[in-house]
Amino acid sequence: MVMRTVRAVEYIEPLWEGTSLPAVMRADDGALYAVKFVGAGQGKKALVAELICGELARSLGFCVPRIVLVELDPSIAQTEPDQEIQQLLRASAGLNFGISFLEHATRFSPLAPPEPTSAFASRLVWFDAFVTNVDRTPRNVNLLVKDGQVWLIDHGACLYFHHRWRDHLQQGETRFPQVRDHVLLSWADDLRAVDGAMHETLEQSLFEGIVDQVPAPWLDWEGDPQPPEWYRRAYVDYFMHRLAISERFVEEAEDARRRLI
C-alpha cells in the first residue's frame, strides 16, 4: 500500500467544529478534502493517530473516507484574510493529513436511521477500545451518515500512549475504563464473538504495512531523540501486545455495559 499524495491548491473554508482548525481544501486532482494541519496545536501525533487508526478501521471493514497526504505550499496563506488561518497555513508547510470530504453527510445519531445493529456496535466498541479512542461519545460521536452508510472520522485522540513513550507496552495493557462513555455501548452485546474475529484479521504484517505509511517528518518529535524507524517498531509492538491482552478491555466493556442496562 502506498499512501496517495495530493497538492493543495485552494483553501475553501474552515471546519470550525474542530479544535485544531481543520479545513476543506481543494487539491490538484479537483477533489475536496477535509484537512488537518501539521502546524495545529494538537501536533504531529494527532495526524499519526488519524492515519494509523483510520487505515486500521478500513482494514476491519468499516467505512472510512479515503485518506491522503496533502502537500501544502505555505504561499497559499497569502489569499486568506483571517490572521489565525494564515499562521496555521504557514506553520503547516509540507505534508498534512486529509480525508475525502463527505459533502451533505449528516451527524450520526443512534436514535435516527440507520439504527445501529448489535454487530456494528460490538465491532466499533471493540475497535475503539483497542485503539483507546476517548472521542466516540454521545457528545462527540465522530460518525457521519451518507447514503445510508455510517462513516468513521476523527481519530486524532486515539493512541494516547504516544504522548508519553515511557513504558508504552505497559500502557498497552489498559482496560480502557473510558469505554463506559462510548456512544454505542448499549448495543454492543456480542463483544466475545467480535474479539475472536478481530484476532483472525489483525496481524503483525497488517500493522507494519499501515505504520510504514506514516511520513517520517511526522515521527520527528521535539524532545524525543529516537529515529522514525524506532517509533514505527514501537507502534507495531504496542498493537501486538494490546491484541494479546484484548480479554482485558473486552471484559471492561462488558462490565460497563452491564452497569448501563
Amino acid 19: pLDDT: 62
Amino acid 17: pLDDT: 65
Q: What Å distances lie between residue 142 and 95, 130, 180, 184, 193, CA to CA?
A: 23, 17, 16, 12, 25
Residue whose cell numbers read 436511521: 113
Amino acid 73: pLDDT: 96
pLDDT along the chain (261 residues), means of 10: 92 79 96 96 93 98 98 92 92 97 95 93 98 96 96 96 84 95 98 97 98 96 85 96 97 96 72
Amino acid 2: pLDDT: 79
Amino acid 98: pLDDT: 98
Amino acid 52: pLDDT: 98
Give the rounded distance of the alpha carbon of 174 from its chain centre.
Answer: 19
Going through 127-244 in order, the beta strands assigned E by DSSP cover 143-146, 149-152
Amino acid 1: pLDDT: 66
The letter for the amino acid at 247 is E
Q: Are 33 and 98 in contact (CB under 8 A)?
A: yes
